[in-house]
Amino acid sequence: MISHQKSSKTLAIGLASLAGFVDALGFLNLGGVFVSFMSGNSTRFAVGVTSELPLKITLIPLGIIALFVAGVMAGRAIRHYFPKRPSTAVMVFISAALTVSSIIHGSRLTLLDLPLMAIAMGAANNVFFREGEVSVGVTYMTGTLVKLGQRLAGKLLGEKEQEWLPYFLLWMGLVAGATLGSFTYTHWGLHALWIGVALCLALTQFCAWIENK
């Protein structure tokens, strides 16, 4: 995160906001299952296995995890096949998935809306990619908070080059997006995803501008 340029940091914060927004919609619609936070779903699945919950309810988090991983795989493949502007190509895929999810919500294909959201969130983690690895995780914040804590401790200890603000802003981006997602869901339900589509399209344009510089 620290080594990225200012424009890339801004894009990362925007993507974290999008992830928080989409995750809040999915969480509220699924009654406590996430579409972008797989650690939480892993715990939900494990607890469900040892509880008296119906098997169908227990398997929902596991299904979302599988879809998320499929999205990660799709995003990685897109980067491979579109090497000139890989991040923009991934953003186009995310925008398309969220748009289709918004269109089919409430239709006969409505059962596919949340799976598409999970796939989109998995793919989002391929936007920032260096040397075969994710360089900035935008849908999960545990690592970000660990780095924030380490940098703050280094700052207090007087160590040099302990820049903590980018990590704090990345986390705040996700929190702000989730707050907006929760607020809009109470008014429009999953139709609020159109706001996420608009944000994603704007971020796609911004990403294209960065890669074209």
Note the pLDDT tens digit of each residue in 9-25: 999 999 999 999 999 99
Domain boundaries, the chain: 6-212
Please state which of the four CATH numbers 3.40.50, 3.10.450, 1.20.1250, 1.10.10 is assigned to the domain occupying 6-212.
Answer: 1.20.1250
pTM (whole model) above 0.75:
yes
5 Cβ contact list (under 8 Å, min separation 6): none
How many C-beta neighbours within 10 Å does residue 212 have? 8
Note the pLDDT tens digit of each residue in 168-204: 999 999 999 999 999 999 999 999 999 999 999 999 9
Calculate the CA dihedral of residues 148, 154, 157, 159 and round it to 10 degrees. -150
46 touches 206 (CB < 8 A): no
Residues of the chain with pLDDT under 70: 1-4
